[in-house]
Amino acid sequence: METAYVQSNQPDGVPPLSLTGERTLPDVPEENYWYRRHLAVYEWIGARTVGRRVVDMACGEGYGSEVLARAAASVVGVDANPEAHEHARLRYPRQNLRFARDLVERFAEPCDAVVFLQTIEHVQNPDEILEHFRAMLAPGGVAYVTTPNLLTLAPAGAEKSDNPWHVREYRAEGFRALCTAHFPRVELLGLFHARKLRVHELAIRHLGWDAVHQRLGITRPFYDRFTPAISARDFSLRPGPPANLDRALDFLAICHT
């Protein structure tokens, strides 16, 4: 039987969400790696949307919308899932933050920035959605779109991982081409491991750490401590030539109108 992971330590009156694999959640220790991986990007974008009107599409649990609202003029978090919407509305009350239960394709409100993280791989109609985002943006507006790197997510040579929620996964140049078909200027950054996650990555690659911890019988105790200790600072966004981006965990497309 699979273990059901549910958010812990939620404020009174806020219904906890269960981890389904469709979206990441804070307050689930076993999910901390993925939560911090997404949080690092939200924090990076938040520093670049100060004083702006922001729409956070497919906002899920709402934690990213709250991060953006710390410095934005206003934020709307949009999600169609009723449980996620209700949780976000109750969990993150801020004067400049509201949540709308709606489809990404349908919600339309003028804004200066659209944020769409780790979701474009879930949709059947990415071109339609990117065109919709461009129409929402004011002159000089920016869409921030992320997606996982097929080359580091799926087995070697595969065209897709086994994630049942993903419709299509992208390589760097394919993702860049998708975005440049709808925006006149696109910058592409890669998200990489940093600090202790980089050390861990090198230990696996060069020291055979995966075999060592199994041989010593410390796999569970080690990761029970290591995973909850991961922070957003253990990830780094940076540009690079295509050869470097091929090693990225995720891509961030910064799409200028």
List, for residues 11-37, the tens digit of each pLDDT value. Answer: 999 999 999 888 899 999 999 999 999
Most confident of the ranges 88-102, 201-215, 217-231, 235-249: 88-102
| Torsional sign, CA 41, 12, 6, 120 | negative
Q: Say what the pLDDT of residue 1 is.
A: 36
Average per-residue pLDDT for the chain: 94
Q: What pTM did the predictor assign?
A: 0.95
Higher pLDDT, 215 or 252: 252
Strands 74-78, 97-100: parallel, antiparallel or unpaired by DSSP?
parallel
The label of the residue with tokens 């050390």 reads 199
Burial class (CB in 10 A: 0-12, 13-18, 19+), 83: middle
The label of the residue with tokens 């939620």 reads 10
- Three-state DSSP state, 169: coil
In this prediction, residue 3 has a pLDDT band, given cuts at 50, 70 and 90, of low
Mean per-residue pLDDT, 158-179? 94
| 176, containing H or E segment | helix 172-180
- Residue 58: strand pairing partners: none
The domains located in the chain, with CATH, are 29-256 (3.40.50.150)
List, for residues 125-154, the tens digit of each pLDDT value. Answer: 999 999 999 999 999 999 999 999 999 999
